[in-house]
């Protein structure tokens, strides 16, 4: 129950911040990292659910994040290091 409430709150925060001009994907990445650190004690470097949702919002609104080379490579390879972009 608490996990669902945290996820819903984080999603609402991400959508509201995306409307303020910040990249929804970056906001989702930050929220994923905060949740992972709070619940697991460490950050998971893979794309999380909120980051993926934020990327979808950015794609739908025409906002593309191009300031992070690592994220660009991860998007191009779908997170699989064996994929040739």
Quote the CA–CA distance of 23 and 39 in Å, as a whole number: 24
pLDDT of 50 higher than 80: yes
pLDDT of 18 higher than 60: no
Place 23 in a pLDDT band, splitting at 50, 70 and 90.
confident
Whether the model clears a pTM of 0.85, i.e. scores above it, the answer is: no
């Amino acid at each position: 129950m608490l996990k669902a409430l945290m996820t819903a709150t984080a999603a609402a925060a991400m959508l509201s911040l995306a409307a303020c001009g910040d990249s929804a994907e970056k906001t989702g990445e930050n929220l994923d990292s905060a949740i992972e650190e709070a619940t697991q004690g460490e950050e998971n470097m893979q794309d999380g659910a909120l980051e993926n949702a934020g990327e979808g919002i950015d794609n739908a609104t025409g906002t593309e994040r191009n300031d992070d080379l690592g994220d660009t490579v991860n998007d191009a390879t779908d997170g699989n290091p064996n994929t040739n972009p």
